[in-house]
Structure 1
Amino acid sequence: MGICVSTASAETHEVDGGNENLVRIQDALQNNRILRLDSLHSQQGNKGPNQDAAILYQGYGTEDGTFCGVFDGHGKNGHVISKLVRNRLPSLVLDRKNALSALNATVNQDYGDQEDELSDDLVPNKTFREWKEACLSVFKVIDKELKLHENLDCSCSGTTAVVIIKQAEDLVIANLGDSRAILGTMTEDGLVAVQLTTDLKPSLPKEAERIKKNSGRIFSLKNEPHIQRVWLPNDNFPGLAMTRAFGDFKLKNHGIIAIPEITHHRLSVNDQFLVLATDGVWDVLSIKEVTSIVWLAKSEKEAARAVVDAAVTAWRSKFPTSKMDDCTVLCLFTGEKSENAIPTNLI
């Protein structure tokens, strides 16, 4: 499937040996700009086609901007839906953000800039609120598009999404489902793993409350008591393991929503890298383990593959009789790695 980008100078590349699940877009006109080092890797599991998708767009929005997105499809058509969402989301969000900025500029010109007196060091500013509004609007639009898609059944299929939009030192983080984003940051005592998103699963009290208010049921199967799932009111079906997703329209009247949780993080000089990964990775590796693997990888370009390889090994060790899930990792390095900064411990 093609990638729709709004910048005419952007070049699109499939990565990882031509793997269509992974796409990198680079602004071709920014030749004098030093791009952030990054890596992408995906490994198909044993459940069928690889339903994961990922995109990394350098030069997104601003010269030093980056769009990072990881999508984990599920259900019969999950592999199609994850790519559809991946291909539509970046350009739609950017277009909506630019439209909001233009509108706000006109309003400020007419009435004067009445921006709240907020501390940029502590509180997200007007620009963040524009990105947030853009994400909320576009997630809703894409979900509606999927429902109206004539040749694609999304009744019991869908995809999660975890997105980070980097603009200079500001991160806009949009999370839908149970993929996850983390940050590796350096302290005097070693490397710290910081979880940037919350896994939106039925086991989370606030998520469970919404499901139950809408007559959805939550319970786990006997052969997997550690996994809570969402079921229809009067039918033991479909058993969705997350509470927010694109698609899954059978459950949209029973508490499943496509509204992302959106947060802000300002990078510091100590922040080293970001990792976005699907739940196939987090099911078997902790955030501390992933952070350590990324930091000790042979190179930044090999970091994502190193995490996926470790996850595959962990699956075989921890769940030898289970079918391995798809594992996809995106790494974006935000700091300069120094040989003298290799930590002796991980907190």
Structure 2
Amino acid sequence: MFLMNMFGSNNSYKNKKKKGKKKKIETTALAKNQVNPLKDVKMFGAFKMGYGPKKTECQDSHCIMEKFIDECHFFAVYDGHGSSGKEASQAANDYIQTYLEKNNKKIKGLTTDKTREQFLRAAFKSAESKLKSSGIDYSNSGTCSIAIFIQKNICYIANLGDSRAVLFRQTNKEKLAIELSYDHKPTRPDERERIIRSGGKIEKLIHDGVPVGPYRVWADDEGPGIAMTRTLGDLQAKKIGLISEPEIQRIELTRQDKFIVIGSDGVWDVMSSAEVVGFVLQYQPPAQNEKFDKNDKDNANQENVASALVAECRARWDDMNKNKKNSSKIGDLPYLKFGCDDITCVVAYLEFNDDDAPK
């Protein structure tokens, strides 16, 4: 049913860029008198706390900013980890949202890919700086982030860690589940190279002489043992190649694009990108030429889509634990691995003007 992926598969990332060279970003400016084909973005978010050994609070958070200024939208999911993971997630969420709100005039002046990307990088850089000076110990705690910024019909995906964004595109010939982000794992060739070059090691945890769990980043035998290579916070690991600079992708949205789903790894550990798209399709919004009606049955389903997706993921976690199929998703050690991660998602439906007919 679905083909994927636009930027590259998260199952087998292939680094095609030449060493030492950064891919140039195309510069695009919409004419001031050009009508924005993207009419509106309707967003729905939901979360559910996980369970398991040492699990006492939900460390995820999410942000929804529908049309916070003219023709601009922003939504994000933050997945905290470590003893101060909840604080890291919520603080990063607050810092970046505040940065956007305080820079309304600057955002209106962004007219090229380069300036928009620079603005997003500055938002994350500011959040990292505030985490460092917050007085909270983030030496071994931090947060992943997947964020979407849309200006007119140009969409930018800013990713840090192993949360993910997926776009559903429907053409006359096919239906596509398109991954809009790469997971930042220690096994990814370019990420691994940076960690090793910075003096870090990439190994699994050793338990009773046997490697267990995913590959992690280590400075020494004591830590930090983090399973991602880009996050906000995790200050100890920043000394061995972990970075807080988001990887930013760009895509121009058209009427063929129906919705975007972002989520923490509590979603993607139990559902593939194609499965998530197929699930969301059951909650299809009204046709593009129909108005949103609060009393409409389809629209009611649309509003419930995020909660339904979270519930489906939770059921899959429960089933894996019941049948002991969970392969160290939560903890590396045998007595820790059966549990459920926090689950958070945002589903954003894209509504286009009628005169933007597909070609």
TM-score by length of 1: 0.75
Residue 38 (1) aligns with residue 50 (2): no
Give the partner amino acid of 2:49. Answer: Q
Match of 1:139 in 2: 124
Which of 315, 325, 340 is matched with 2:341 structurally?
325
Residue 195 (1) aligns with residue 182 (2): no
**How far off is 1:170 after superposition?**
0.8
Give the partner amino acid of 2:315. Answer: T
- Please say if residues 96 and 138 of structure 1, whose CA atoms lie closer than 8 Å, have aligned partners that are also in contact: no
Which of 231, 242, 247 is matched with 1:245 structurally?
231
- Please say if residues 61 and 167 of structure 1, whose CA atoms lie closer than 8 Å, have aligned partners that are also in contact: no
Which of 112, 125, 148 is matched with 2:133 structurally?
148
Which of 311, 314, 317 is matched with 1:312 structurally?
314
Which of 76, 85, 92 is matched with 1:85 structurally?
92
Q: 1:61-140 counterparts in 2 under 5 A?
A: 61-62=69-70, 64-93=71-100, 95-96=102-103, 98-99=105-106, 126-140=111-125
C-alpha distance in 2, partners of 1:88/1:217? 31
Q: Measured at CA, do residues 258 and 269 of structure 1 come closer, stay the same or move farther in structure 2, by a change above 3 Å?
A: same
Give the partner amino acid of 1:82. Answer: S
Give the partner amino acid of 1:269. Answer: R
- Please say if residues 164 and 181 of structure 2, whose CA atoms lie closer than 8 Å, have aligned partners that are also in contact: yes
Give the partner amino acid of 2:86. Answer: H
**How far off is 1:71 after superposition?**
0.3
Q: RCO higher in 1 or 2 (8 Å CA, sep ≥ 6)? A: 2
- Please say if residues 37 and 301 of structure 1, whose CA atoms lie closer than 8 Å, have aligned partners that are also in contact: no
- Please say if residues 40 and 350 of structure 2, whose CA atoms lie closer than 8 Å, have aligned partners that are also in contact: no
Give the partner amino acid of 2:59. Answer: Q
Match of 1:29 in 2: none
**How far off is 1:243 after superposition?**
0.4
CA deviations over 1:81-140 (Å, ceiling 9, x no partner): 1111111102314545744876x8xxxxxxxxxxxxxxxxxxxxx432212111112212
- Please say if residues 58 and 67 of structure 1, whose CA atoms lie closer than 8 Å, have aligned partners that are also in contact: yes
For the residue of structure 1 that corresponds to 2:191, the secondary structure is helix
Residue 213 (1) aligns with residue 194 (2): no
Q: 1:171-320 counterparts in 2 under 5 A?
A: 171-221=155-205, 225=212, 227-232=214-219, 234-297=220-283, 299-320=301-322
**How far off is 1:319 after superposition?**
3.8
Larger mean CA deviation between 126-135 and 242-251 belongs to 126-135
Match of 1:55 in 2: 63
C-alpha distance in 1, partners of 2:169/2:206? 40
C-alpha distance in 2, partners of 1:276/1:90? 17
- Please say if residues 42 and 66 of structure 2, whose CA atoms lie closer than 8 Å, have aligned partners that are also in contact: no
C-alpha distance in 2, partners of 1:131/1:95? 16
**How far off is 1:35 after superposition?**
5.2
Give the number of aligned pairs: 279
**How far off is 1:208 after superposition?**
0.7
- Please say if residues 47 and 345 of structure 2, whose CA atoms lie closer than 8 Å, have aligned partners that are also in contact: yes
**How far off is 1:286 after superposition?**
0.1
CA deviations over 1:202-251 (Å, ceiling 9, x no partner): 1111101111111111112367845111112x233221111000100111
- Please say if residues 176 and 261 of structure 1, whose CA atoms lie closer than 8 Å, have aligned partners that are also in contact: yes
Give the partner amino acid of 2:318. Answer: R
Give the partner amino acid of 1:92. Answer: Y
For the residue of structure 1 that corresponds to 2:214, the secondary structure is coil
- Please say if residues 231 and 237 of structure 1, whose CA atoms lie closer than 8 Å, have aligned partners that are also in contact: yes
C-alpha distance in 2, partners of 1:268/1:225? 44
Larger mean CA deviation between 205-214 and 315-324 belongs to 315-324
Mark the runs of 5 or more structure 1 residues left unpaired by the alignment: 1-33, 105-125, 337-347
**How far off is 1:318 after superposition?**
2.7
C-alpha distance in 1, partners of 2:91/2:149? 19
- Please say if residues 160 and 230 of structure 2, whose CA atoms lie closer than 8 Å, have aligned partners that are also in contact: yes
Mark the runs of 5 or more structure 2 residues left unpaired by the alignment: 1-38, 284-297, 325-337, 353-359
Aligned-pair RMSD on alpha carbons? 2.2
Give the partner amino acid of 2:164. Answer: R
